[in-house]
A and B are shown apart, each in its own frame.
Chain A
Amino acid sequence: MRHGRHLAVLRLIAVLLLSSVLALPQGCSFSASSKGSSNSSESSSDSSGSSSRSSSPESAEAQYKSDVREYTAAYVKTGGQFDAFRRGIGDIAKKHNITNWEESTVTYEGIGEGLGDARVSDLQLKAYMDGLAGQDQSKRAAMQKGYDAKKG
């Protein structure tokens, strides 16, 4: 009886030691969510969300533009249907808490920068302008500005 109790205690210690050994080398930050770190504690209430990027308006705008730029440049390389491209812009905008992305000149600057990054021709730029900005001069100008800044 006493022998059995000792064995049980030894078993418990072995389990704990094994757990310890397993816990020790778990290098690198682990996030249970596939979307990475998200605050589920009180800190969320003090920030503008659990985004891992800065929450200042200027920075948020710059991050949005940067994402649109990268997405556009990638689209020029990979190709794909144009409505799928536009739908993708909507998804990126929503991640940045923007629903009416067509009204934001930042969107068009970002697209222009992406086209500049991808080194598209002036002719291709015009085609994108027609497809996305129509005859809206401020949107076309924003695209041109972004394009010039990157192609420069």
Chain B
Amino acid sequence: MSAFRRLLALGAALLALVVPAAAAEPGRHIDYLYIEANEGGSSGGHVALGLGDEVFHFEHRSPGILVLGLDDLEHFRYRYSVRENRTIHVSRIPVSEETYTLLVERFRRRHFLQTRHLDVMDGLARDRATLEQMRAGVLAIEAAGLFALPGTPDTDADLGALRSRVQAVYGGDVLDRRIESLHARLQQVDPAVLDLPEPPAAELPPVPTYSFPQRYRDLVSTLAAMEILRDARPLARDALVQSEDFTGADAAVAGQLAEALSGALVRLVASERPDGGGALLVGMARLVALAESVRQGRWLVVDAFPADAVTVGTRPEREAELTESIAAELARRRERLVSRSGEGKLQEVEFAAFEAAANRLAELHLARAEGRERRILGASLVPSRPARRAIGGLDGAGLSRALEAVRERQEAYAAAFKRRWGYNLVTRNCVSEIFTEIDAAFRGGAEESLARLGGRIEMDGSLNFIPAVSAASVVSAYPVTERLELPSYRTWRKEQMYERENPVAVFLRESNTLTSAMYRHNPDDSIFVFFTDDAVIARPLLGAVNLAVGLAASAVGLVTWPADGGTTLWAGLKGAVFSLPELFFQNIRKGSFGYVKRGARPDPTPRPAEMPGGG
């Protein structure tokens, strides 16, 4: 035992006397999760810390940074054990309530800190884009594209009614006054006063700043919204998406929501909040959609897809399943909306979720009818279709200087972030950071960590940086009371099949990608024939076949390169590379599943298990 370890043990023993209650009364537990390897994202495996329903795990992200991700347990399981088809091994360690709270607080704080810094970096990127647009004399205003172009002779009756309400409350010339005031403020905004965020230096979140580009963008956005309301400008022709016919109390609900939204928009016009323009644009579009829904007797929602929405192809065999799933989601969202409509307020989170589900279902139908790939709606559900707006009267030289300053700050910020939280395969990875944060959760650092948790693993000079090794070390170093397992999706499905069908037939059919009833080639996967994660003895032989197939696919890929842009070649090469470990009894590749509907996912309860033998 090294001198350091002896000192640590002595310190821990002393601390155990100081914090006896914490060490002796375990009321909670923490879970150390080891996720088996797969090709692609983490060929060496992955680890995470489960604290109640929250899972914290450090992800290696581009460009070479290590970021603490926070998932809820259900989503984490779906992502790793279902979609990525990787078995998760759980080591459960009992802890006191106090220790548990300290750990949760520490990990949440770290997550918040990094999230804030990442948000600031996103803001700097937006500022840069804004300045580039300003130099070109045209600014893209989010959500303004939902409305017809300026100069349109038509007016919208519902926005006309909203305008009348606003004028009745604040005076007939309120919109003209607001517009005049916004023009004046735009003249006063000085590009020399940039107000940019300082790069991260300490364990502190960034000081909030309100930069010149953001301020300018907000003012122009509010100006655009006020002008649209003043003109009662109608929606763009394709801004609304048709959804399902009204049933039951839907008509009354839509009417109530429109009334509640209208009242909120009247208040918003008078608000001094800096970012009110975007909210007013989206709100007005939704108001028109609700009013039109009432007139037509069916739900109409605002087109929520962003201008740069990612598109994907839908495999024909999955289409019916997908349609059913999204339709069920839409029904759930509608029911929820109806049940809360009597509260006299538009619950925006719920309305956005309903609007998004309606958009997704309509897009699925539309894409099929038009024979094109369908657009994907990501995390942001707020309608944002932009419109270009000419701007002028700006000092070109001042803008260039501002752009240069923002660019420099952007680089400095990213560099500082990377210095502070850069990824290193051995010294700072998903394993090392978990244990660093655990120690940091306690005032007494490593010694108190040992005393409170009853164990500790060393990172320096050990192989514990390898996820699988760390999982084994945790079992031997900590007082692990339970070892559980969340099987991979394929393992779970096979077990179901074994119960219902002839086991030999299932084994043979599911051993390969060609005859498997559950696996369909996922574009993210390499090209291979045999699954080898459950075939230890035959692994080298099956791996040799996989290697040959991978090489053959690569050769074909060379020929098809001009047609498929190298997709087959890349999949073939990956297939060959991930077959090589199989020749030496090691398995990495397990195949993955693009989409599994809720009802077909494994039982979420982990089951008792032995620790993994590796890979």
Contacts and interface: CB of A to CB of B under 8 A. Distances in A.
A137 interface: no
B166 to A, nearest CB: 15
A17 B39 CA distance: 15
A78 B203 CA distance: 11
Given A28-B42, A34-B118, A88-B208, A44 B377 contact: yes
A17 B578 CA distance: 10
Contacts of B382: 94, 97, 99
Interface residues of B, number: 112
A4 interface: no
A19 B551 CA distance: 14
B312 A81 contact: no
A19 B44 CA distance: 14
Contacts of B390: none
A16 B576 contact: yes
A95 B218 CA distance: 17
A29 B119 contact: no
Q: Report whether over half of chain B's contact residues are helix, strand or loop; otherwise say mixed.
A: mixed
Nearest to B378: A50
B49 to A, nearest CB: 13
B494 interface: no
Contact of A79 (B59, B61, B207, B378): B207
A50 B63 CA distance: 21
Given A27-B42, A45-B360, A97-B380, A20 B336 contact: no
A101 to B, nearest CB: 8
A41 B312 contact: yes
B41 A30 contact: yes
A96 B119 CA distance: 14
Most chain A beta-carbon contacts within 10 A, residue among B273, B431, B524 = B273
Interface of B: 35, 39-47, 57-63, 65-67, 69-72, 74-76, 78-79, 83, 108, 112, 116, 118-119, 121-123, 195, 204-210, 214, 218, 264, 267-268, 271, 273-275, 278-279, 282-283, 310, 312, 314-315, 318, 322, 325-326, 329, 336, 345-350, 352-353, 356-357, 360, 364, 374, 376-382, 423, 425, 429-431, 465-467, 522, 524, 573, 576-578, 580-581, 586, 588, 594-598
Closest 4 CB pairs of A and B: A27-B44, A28-B430, A42-B595, A90-B275
Given A28-B58, A29-B60, A103-B268, 13 more contacts: A32-B61, A43-B596, A49-B380, A52-B71, A57-B336, A61-B349, A70-B108, A87-B274, A90-B274, A94-B380, A98-B348, A99-B283, A103-B346
Interface of A: 16-17, 19-20, 23-46, 48-55, 57, 59-61, 64, 67, 70-71, 74-75, 77-81, 83-88, 90-91, 94-104
